[in-house]
Each structure stands twice: as C-alpha cells, then as structure tokens.
C-alpha cells in the first residue's frame, strides 16, 4: 500500500488546508507559481507560497541584493511585488483553475495593513490560505520587528484572524529571544498553523572595496547554513504548541526534510534549494513516499515528532534546555 502523505494544516478550521503531500515551495523562492509551470509539474506540489505581498507596490532594494555565502545565500530583495491590489487583479483567477493549493504570504508595517490585506484576500477565489510574515518592522513601535515580540506577533495574528476565515499560517522570525513563547502567543490569537523559520539577518563585506557586498548592507541568510538552527527551533516550538508546524531552513535533500518531520514538523517548505535545482520539490515528494514505504510506515504522520522525548518529564526538561540555549 502507498503510504499516506496527506496532511491537514488547519484541522480546526472548517475551510481546512488539506495537502496531498507535505512539500511546499517557500515564499520568495517560487514567484507566483506560474514562473515554474514550464519547469516542473507545479500541480504535484503539496502547495506553494507566493512572494510576499505588501499593501502597496514595491520596487525592492537597489542592486546588488543577492550574494552567495558558505552553504547559503544572503538576500535583500526588499519585498518587490505589485501590491495587494495589483496582485488580486492577476493571480487569484489564474490559481482558481489550479489543483495545487496556493498560499499567499503577506507583509506589512502596521497591524491595520495586515488586516486590510486579509479582508481583500478573503473575498478572492483560488486562495487556500494566508501566511503572515511577521519578520517586518512595526512602524508604530519604532521599527522593532513584529516577530521578535510575542504580543506584537499576537496583535497581528488577532487582527488577521478577525478579518478572514481562511486558514491562517503565521511565519515566525528566528530573531525572537524565545520562539516558543511567540508560537504560544500566536496560537492563542487564532493561528491555524505555524511556519518557521524565516531568514536570519546577516552581512558580508567585500575586502577589496572594503564595503558591505549588499547595497542594503544587511540581508537574510538562508540555505543549509541555517538548517541546524531551524531544526532546533522547530523541535522547541513543536513541543510547545498543538497546531501543526511547517518546518523550513536549508532543506536540500530527503534526509534534511526527514530531520524536520522527526523534530515535529507536519510539512516542510523548501526555498533556496529551488534556485540551484528546481526539480528538488518533486524529487522530495517521491523520495518521502519511497522512504516511508521502505521503512514500513503507512503514514507520514507516524514519524512526525518521533525525535521528541516520550516521557513528559524528559519532554519538559528538553523544552527548558532548548529555551535556555535560545536565550
């Protein structure tokens, strides 16, 4: 029998977020899906997440805005996108014809703007879920990142929850001091699922010009370089919350994806790997099924969180030590 790899990422939401398989293309690394339709069979994916959409159109940051780093990349694209109104004119009607669930990633610098975009998306066809990117500066709080603070993250979640009944995924920022605390706050505020992690802020300097390589000075670090951090954070958050966790950060191979499932992720997202090997998403889907079959598991859900301790006492101790390490 073929193992069951399906997953519902919003089990308590009547609108559900049912995926045929747990492999999702990550935001910012897969355009709007259409760009890859001649390259891979997009309809086979578990789902895909759009580029980050903002209240108004953005041209993005000046060049250079991408640079390679050891085992990763640093990007400062600056959320280039057509804005929520430009976005809804084009993509929802197109996606309505597609089988693959399309998830829209939204970013804003004010709580009301997140809610405004969620209200607009709620009325659109072809949208399976919203992913809220809280790794953005909160202008009302002097630019402090929403995602670094449990209350600010919960404020955004609550406002989006009130604006839409669509399945709601909140994407956590690895810059928070205690990510489990942020995760618990957004869960209580109505998130159906949590995705993690977004990029970590980094910088490289060109020793010849003696200037930072990126015009923006800093950028988001992604790829295998961040994977052990991402796995640790998923392990820590999955132990704390009840809602499904979607893990990402440097997944290139089957073993990388398995690490996230064993840590407690119900699904995975893949970003940076797509730039060098667009076929990686489909390959992972096939390899996950084959691996489960080979190892005698009849469902993916059986291995989710298998690396978590079974006894409640060890569980509490591990969670505490994960928190200390994070602090």
Ligand X SMILES: Cc1cc2nc3c(=O)[nH]c(=O)nc-3n(C[C@H](O)[C@H](O)[C@H](O)COP(=O)(O)O)c2cc1C
Among 163, 164, 172, 168, which residue's Cα sits nearest to residue 196? 172
* Closest residue to ligand X in the complex (CB): 28
Which of residues 92 and 220 has its CB atom nearest to ligand X in the complex? 220
The residue annotated as part of the active site, out of 5, 29, 136, 145, is 136
Active site residue 5: no
Closer residue to ligand X in complex, CB, 214/300: 214
Q: How far is the CB of 16 from ligand X (least distance, A)?
A: 22
By C-beta, is 67 or 318 nearer to ligand X? 67
**At its nearest, how many Å lie between ligand X and the CB of residue 284?**
11
- List, as one string, the DSSP characters of 93-139: HHHHT-SS-EEEEE--SSHHHHHHHHHHHHT-SS--EEEEE--SEEG
Phi, psi for 82 (deg, rounded to 5): -80, 5
Q: How many CA atoms lie within 13 A of 10 on its CB side?
A: 21
Smallest separation, CB 170 to ligand X (Å): 11
Instruction: Pick the closer one to ligand X by CB: 3 or 199.
Output: 199
- 211: which strand partners? 206
Shortest Cβ 229–ligand X spacing (Å): 10
Distance in Å, CB of 179 to ligand X, minimum: 14
Q: CA 220, CA 74: separation in Å to the nearest integer?
A: 5
Cβ proximity to ligand X, 220 vs 264, nearer residue: 220
In the complex, minimum distance from the CB of residue 58 to ligand X, in angstroms, rounded to a whole number: 10
Using an 8 Å Cβ cutoff, are 65 and 219 in contact?
yes
Residues at the contact surface with ligand X, assessed by CB under 6 A? 26-29, 51-52, 73, 75, 77, 79, 105, 133, 171, 198-199, 220, 222-223, 226, 248-251, 270-273
Q: For residues 167 and 9, is the Cβ–Cβ distance under 8 A?
A: yes
Our CB check for ligand X shows the closer of 46 and 271 to be: 271
CA nearest 217: which of 199, 205, 208?
Answer: 205
Q: Would you say 281 or 319 has its CB closer to ligand X?
A: 281
Q: 67 forms bridges with which residues in the sheet?
A: 74
Report in angstroms how near the CB of residue 52 gets to ligand X at its nearest: 3
Contacts for 25 with CB less than 8 Å, ≥ 6 apart: 33, 36, 45, 47, 48, 49, 269, 270, 271, 274, 281
What does the block give as tokens for 263? 């840590």
DSSP β-bridge partners for residue 205: 212
Cα–Cα nearest to 190, from 156, 221, 236? 156
Q: Does the bond joining 197 to the residue before it have cis omega, within 30 degrees of 0?
A: yes
Residues forming the active site: 136
């Amino acid at each position: 029998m073929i193992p069951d790899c399906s997953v519902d990422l919003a089990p308590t939401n009547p609108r559900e977020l049912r995926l045929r398989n747990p492999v999702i293309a990550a935001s910012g690394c897969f355009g709007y899906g259409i760009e890859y339709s001649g390259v891979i069979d997009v309809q086979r994916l578990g789902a895909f997440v759009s580029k980050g959409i903002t209240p108004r159109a953005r041209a993005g940051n000046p060049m250079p805005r991408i640079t390679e780093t050891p085992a990763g990349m640093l990007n400062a694209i600056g959320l280039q996108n057509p804005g929520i109104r430009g976005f809804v004119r084009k993509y929802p009607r197109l996606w309505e014809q597609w089988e693959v669930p399309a998830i829209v990633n939204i970013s804003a610098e004010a709580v009301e703007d997140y809610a405004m975009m969620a209200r607009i998306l709620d009325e659109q066809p072809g949208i399976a879920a919203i992913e809220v990117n809280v790794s953005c500066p909160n202008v009302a709080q002097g630019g402090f990142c929403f995602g670094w603070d449990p209350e600010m993250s919960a404020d955004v979640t609550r406002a989006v929850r009130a604006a839409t009944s669509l399945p709601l995924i909140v994407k956590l920022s690895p810059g928070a001091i205690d990510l489990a605390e942020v995760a618990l706050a957004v869960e209580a505020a109505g998130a159906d699922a949590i995705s993690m992690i977004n990029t970590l802020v980094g910088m490289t300097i060109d020793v010849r010009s003696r200037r930072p390589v990126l015009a923006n000075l800093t950028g988001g670090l992604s790829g295998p370089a961040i994977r052990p951090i991402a796995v640790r954070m998923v392990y820590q958050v999955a132990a704390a919350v009840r809602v499904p966790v979607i893990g990402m950060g440097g997944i290139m191979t089957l073993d990388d994806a398995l690490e996230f499932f064993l840590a407690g992720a119900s699904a995975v997202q893949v970003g940076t790997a797509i730039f060098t090997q667009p076929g990686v998403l489909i390959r992972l889907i096939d390899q996950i099924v084959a691996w489960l079959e080979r190892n005698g598991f009849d469902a993916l859900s059986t291995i989710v969180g298998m690396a978590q301790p079974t006894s409640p006492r060890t569980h509490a101790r591990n969670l505490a030590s994960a928190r200390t390490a994070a602090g």
